Amino acid sequence: MKRFLQYLSLIKFSHTIFAMPFALVGFFVGLMFEQQNEIALSGWEKATDYFIGQWMVFLHILLCMIFARSAAMAFNRYLDRTFDAKNPRTSIREIPRGIISPASALQFTIINSILFMGSAWMINAICFLLSPIALIVILGYSYTKRFTALCHLILGLGLSLAPVGAFIAVTEQANLPIILLSAAVIGWVSGFDIIYALQDDAFDVSQGLYSIPGYMGRKNALQLSRLLHFITALLLIGFGYYNGMHWIYYTGLFIYISLLIYQQGIVKENDLSRVNIAFMTANGIASIIFSAFSITDLIYFG
């Protein structure tokens, strides 16, 4: 049990709260899309069988999320172990402290990557064929800080695969609303990752690593973060419009945007004492609220 908890700590399992709610939204958007195009023309018994089958798909989506994120985080910790050991903020992580060996972290990455592809194969052929591309993105992110300050956008791209992947798992296709939702995730994640990276701007520069705060300075980095979150809000308005959402969705969106404004307001270039509140608490609550209101809207008006 102790070893299990150590691996959960290694991959920061609690951070799953960021992408998982958006995957749920993607899943339910896919369900409603399929319902409108197929179930309305079928009998009750066939409709019931359809939804039961899709809940099995949902279970495999959850497994894909868990395995993909576990692989990505373990690989990030493995690849960054030297830098983590030098950085006072990250030197307490499992690999620098010797709690988990680099070889074990790499093995954990490989096992979870295989399990991710296996779970994708259980969904449908398209998901399986796309799974190596998803792995390239989410594992490749760990290299990007070595050569580009746009690493925050690559992280956002990795998490944006959650809603569109869940939608494809149900429908075997993509459409404009789900692309807008995934694009919004890129802006949201990139924006809050820039805030989080403020803590390491001096260290990144000293080690030759790239980040927006290290490249642009804290003031400009915060302005870019705010711009990305503004774009996120516009994209989510567009998602609601093109997906035919109603007042429940927009109520949740209002709360979500308010939390984005809140996190931007509590972090200052000369005061990073509340970065963790902005990063974990505000974003965790925001994603859950957005998901809950979105799914409620889809079910109530679906």
CATH numbers and ranges of domains, the chain = 17-301 (1.10.357.140)
In the predicted model, is pLDDT for residue 87 greater than 70?
yes
Confidence of residue 55 (pLDDT cuts 50, 70, 90): confident
Residue 9: per-residue pLDDT: 62
Instruction: Give per-residue pLDDT as tens, 245-272.
Output: 999 999 999 999 999 999 999 999 998 8
In the predicted model, is pLDDT for residue 179 greater than 60?
yes
Of 198, 189, 203, which Cα lies nearest the Cα of 260?
Answer: 189
Which tokens in the block code for residue 66? 């868990």
Please give the share of the chain, as a percent, with pLDDT higher than 70.
Answer: 89
Type of residue at 282: A
Rounded Cα distance between 250 and 252, Å, is: 5
Confidence of residue 41 (pLDDT cuts 50, 70, 90): very low
Rounded Cα distance between 137 and 131, Å, is: 10
Residue ranges of alpha helices (H) inside 38-150 are: 44-79, 81-86, 102-123, 125-144
Residue 239: per-residue pLDDT: 98
Instruction: Give per-residue pLDDT as tens, 70-86.
Output: 999 999 999 999 999 99
Residue 111 CB neighbours (<10 A): 14
Instruction: Give per-residue pLDDT as tens, 188-208.
Output: 999 999 999 999 999 999 999
The set of residues, in sequence order, having a beta carbon less than 8 Å from that of 129 and lying 6+ positions away, is none
Q: What is the DSSP letter of 42?
A: S
- Residue-averaged pLDDT of the chain: 90
Rounded Cα distance between 260 and 256, Å, is: 6
Residue 102: per-residue pLDDT: 94
Q: Most distant CA pair in the chain: distance in Å?
A: 65
Burial classification of residue 224, based on how many CB atoms lie within 10 Å of its CB (0-12 exposed, 13-18 middle, 19 or more buried): middle
